[in-house]
Structure 1
């Protein structure tokens, strides 16, 4: 780093580069961790633009430690025990037996190849076995595998993230610190006692305060952050390296405590985690010494090959014994296992500690771990889609619809699509609206569709369109911009609100319906005048023009569904040709019916009429 550069300017540049890397990752639909690590390696050992140790000095280790503590707490806050039980035997085995098998195999290979001592090899095995939603979700959205396979991969990533972090912390304390003497064993007991005890105390104390409403809502997030940092630091002060265990235990307990709403905390921690990961990974990657690139890449390549082609497949095959998962899905499941944030952040933190303790092999723990991350994310990200298509476990086309909003119009549209066997997800931040939708049998997502939580938990497999129907114009616009890259700019639709119609403001995305149709008007027709969404099936005798001629003046065309099951919302700039077999949805008054009944074709009505005219048989 040039001496004449201001330290504040360098830190600001690191933050700017990190956020730019996050944006670029979103744009190219690749996990952000890959771009962040490459940016750090380029700025540090490759070009020598800055030296983190010289820049931060003695503050480097405390800053990294606190940042990792927040990341692990946020990950553990998503671990709910009911989710482990609720997603099948395969997922449960993958995050328990499968993770253990993978860890032991990787550790054995790293030790046998002479890369690490057996203690560091076991720690590396725990780190290299963890995937994570931040790297799995972007790949799933590109691959679009079958629903069963997508659910297994997604929930494995969500659950193994905090479990893997906890396992790595435990192994670090038990193995890396050593248990050869009675004093060391007592030290391990002290570490576990302090970590678990303080984590439980902090979780129960914070949940008690939140349940009793002692704090105002706007202080929940910052108070939680303060408690996390204080718990981590206090645990480390009582027992060396017990802080990570303490914050992980704290997050798991809070996530599974009844009557404690962690959604707002998660939203805040997600934004903070994005900032922390953006800075941490650049800084940590920049710390990798240039000499690390001189390690034996033949042996390292052999280890990477073993991890990808042996350890993961063996773990998957053992985890799927006795299950009804088809073999093609098992094979693809064996291939997709990119490593993520936990492996990078925790390995870098532990490496600093191990280097201070003079443990052999600590200097190459980070480079080898980063190599695993880069290779698995890059190789599997590029090959997962063609491999899944080769194995015939990838959906050919995403035809489902994501609806933003839980108001009466949004729910009516969602139910009408569901009646036509269209896959629908309805999202809203109002629990009452989500509850109504669930009671109506709709798939729902409770939260904001533009959040990091949605990136992890919102199952978009089979979903290819967005209908932004909420009353919040900024959220509608943001969702359209967010999912234009996901679904394509031609498949995101936004409804005009009353204030936008009056100000002639053009909403983001493709504008739904006619220029005088607003969300408020459609809601008024449904709630106040009892309008309903009806479906008309077009035939050769009763085509689209005949259906239009039969419509009343106050009815509104909503969407058409083609013979292939593709949804075509009526928009200002959209034209399409609806032919026989299409179904047209419109909002109409219950007392008005078109010449074509919503459930019967013209031919069916003619047959029914003919049957009424025929004489009935005489009784015997």
Structure 2
């Protein structure tokens, strides 16, 4: 007879296998894996196949959920960098204050009116579904490619809303247990919130200080990051229950906003661990759900969920982003992306075990999670296309020496880069650095469609095969209507230059270009020491996109990085302004016009700072 530990271990292995399969299917179908994880959890649970019996896991399910929440929230926060997101401070603050408040009040109200659960229980449901959760948004954003600001905004909302939702739910639950609504619950919420933030600040800065001082091997840094994350979570919960989520969220954002040795290794390790834990949790928790608990709240429950998704969420986002720099299309997209994650599921499970009518809350929360995740997972890509929040990308054919180096440089500059190559090992390296990689031939129309070539900013044909480069350029021009001034190519054989010129494609030869660069290093050493060849500086040519700059004089422009609208980034210089067919030498009284193209030279960071002034609207 098989022992119980062996049976449970076998189920865990099965869950991991199912999680792995779900990830593979998700990658092929471009539908987030959580849709499949939830489906498999229900199918494998007692209500269908009965393979997974949650009663066998109840003794340590709460510990497993707590561990998972700590690691998942930490993984979500450590990928965020406050230094790069100051211009999003207003909508972020709005979503975690106004957004949470509007969602809580309106969701509680419609639940009370439609299902007549009682005001306190309705408020508990309203508190639980204010969370959007990194457990869903992060995997979702990995599989759809939207503008970086939108992705960061949804990330921040998810990381911060999870602990706020948990604390709000605990405050409401304490009022239910005490027998009625009172100021005690509000006091508990404020106290828990404040203590969680305090513990997060202490733990986060402590972790940063340790990582900067520690002279450890990469593997020890990864291991110690797990220890720190769990220690912060458990310490906060030990002193004041249910504050661990807030503490770990704040700590992770602090760590993500600082640089330290082996940071990339920590990020990569956390992401792998997080994927495993998400697979386990989203298969185990749905198996707790009974169909009776769902059927008892239909059709009222479905009406509530639809109102939350298509009325309350859009209204909350709209009110949260009033006066922000977000465009209407960006607000529209964010308003329809509001999936619920593991925190409301875990908290609902916990409360249901301690309430007489807990099954109703559990069923309603899971119904919300299932509908929201499935809707968001299936429609996210289409919504991104409809609201035009998919950024124009740099498509590079060939990820070898030249193409790979170019991809990394453009990626570091903040461009959205897609690399096409047929070598699997190249893909592994580039994906680790956050660069999107498509395995296949750039001469294949379907591969180019997958790279979204019709929306490309530039196509760079950089393989070591001139025939392949020429073919990719031809397909781009004829099949995807890419203008020839947005196509550049590498020519490996000088004899093939003419073929590219006949097609109207700008091209270069690496050997010849290297010789020219070496010649300039000899004859013009000072300027080339400052430029890319010395890795100390940069030179870019950009078109003015910030409409607030148009009509202003050079001496009066202001934006990110400019002190009191007077001081231009000191280590950068506008060396040329191209206006239609004219080349203008810039001076203080030069008034910028629409369509002006600027050439900016200087130190790399200063050039990036100056570039933002002309390409981003001013942020308050």
TM-score range for the pair, normalised by the shorter chain length: 0.5 to 0.7
Matching residue of 2:286: 285
Q: Does the 8 Å CA contact 2:34/2:282 hold for their aligned counterparts?
A: yes
1:176 to 173, 188, 192: 173
Q: Does the 8 Å CA contact 2:420/2:441 hold for their aligned counterparts?
A: no
Q: Output the CA distance in 1 between the equivalents of 2:138 and 2:209.
A: 34
Matching residue of 1:610: none
Q: Does 1:589 align with 2:512?
A: yes
RMSD of aligned residue pairs (Cα, Å): 4.7
Q: Does the 8 Å CA contact 1:30/1:138 hold for their aligned counterparts?
A: no
Q: Output the CA distance in 1 between the equivalents of 2:397 and 2:514.
A: 28
Q: Does the 8 Å CA contact 2:395/2:418 hold for their aligned counterparts?
A: yes
> Which secondary structure state, in structure 2, belongs to the residue aligned with residue 466 of structure 1?
strand
CA offset at residue 132 of structure 1?
Answer: 5.4
Q: Does the 8 Å CA contact 2:31/2:377 hold for their aligned counterparts?
A: yes
Q: Does the 8 Å CA contact 2:132/2:341 hold for their aligned counterparts?
A: no
In the superposition, the TM-score normalised over structure 1's length comes to: 0.64
Cα separation, partners in 2 of 1:269 and 1:485, compared to 1, 3 Å? farther
Structure 2: which 5+ residue stretches go unaligned? 451-460, 493-498, 517-620
Matching residue of 1:401: 395
Q: Output the CA distance in 1 between the equivalents of 2:61 and 2:441.
A: 37
Structure 1: which 5+ residue stretches go unaligned? 415-425, 428-436, 446-457, 494-509, 518-534, 536-543, 545-556, 594-620
Matching residue of 2:161: 164
Matching residue of 1:375: 371
Cα separation, partners in 2 of 1:403 and 1:128, compared to 1, 3 Å? farther
CA offset at residue 371 of structure 1?
Answer: 2.5
Q: Output the CA distance in 2 between the equivalents of 1:88 and 1:79.
A: 13
Cα separation, partners in 2 of 1:379 and 1:257, compared to 1, 3 Å? closer
Cα separation, partners in 2 of 1:124 and 1:256, compared to 1, 3 Å? farther
Q: Output the CA distance in 1 between the equivalents of 2:502 and 2:348.
A: 66
> Which secondary structure state, in structure 1, belongs to the residue aligned with residue 57 of structure 2?
helix
* Residue correspondences, number: 484
Q: Output the CA distance in 2 between the equivalents of 1:348 and 1:214.
A: 40
Q: Output the CA distance in 2 between the equivalents of 1:308 and 1:195.
A: 29
Q: Output the CA distance in 1 between the equivalents of 2:125 and 2:228.
A: 30
CA offset at residue 29 of structure 1?
Answer: 0.5
Cα separation, partners in 2 of 1:224 and 1:113, compared to 1, 3 Å? same
Residues 128-157 of structure 1: CA deviation (Å, up to 9, x unaligned): 34445665578779887xx7xx44532221
Q: How does 1:51-450 map to 2 (within 5 A)?
A: 51-87=52-88, 89-90=90-91, 93-114=94-115, 116-131=117-132, 150-178=147-175, 191=192, 195-213=196-214, 215-257=216-258, 262-322=263-323, 327=328, 330-334=331-335, 336-339=336-339, 343-358=340-355, 361-383=357-379, 393=388, 400-401=394-395, 410-411=404-405, 414=406, 426-427=407-408, 437=409, 442-444=410-412
CA offset at residue 244 of structure 1?
Answer: 2.6
CA offset at residue 57 of structure 1?
Answer: 4.0
CA offset at residue 399 of structure 1?
Answer: 6.2
Residues 519-554 of structure 1: CA deviation (Å, up to 9, x unaligned): xxxxxxxxxxxxxxxx9xxxxxxxx9xxxxxxxxxx
CA offset at residue 260 of structure 1?
Answer: 7.2
CA offset at residue 269 of structure 1?
Answer: 1.1
Cα separation, partners in 2 of 1:410 and 1:249, compared to 1, 3 Å? closer
Q: Does the 8 Å CA contact 1:29/1:138 hold for their aligned counterparts?
A: no
Q: Does the 8 Å CA contact 1:76/1:252 hold for their aligned counterparts?
A: yes
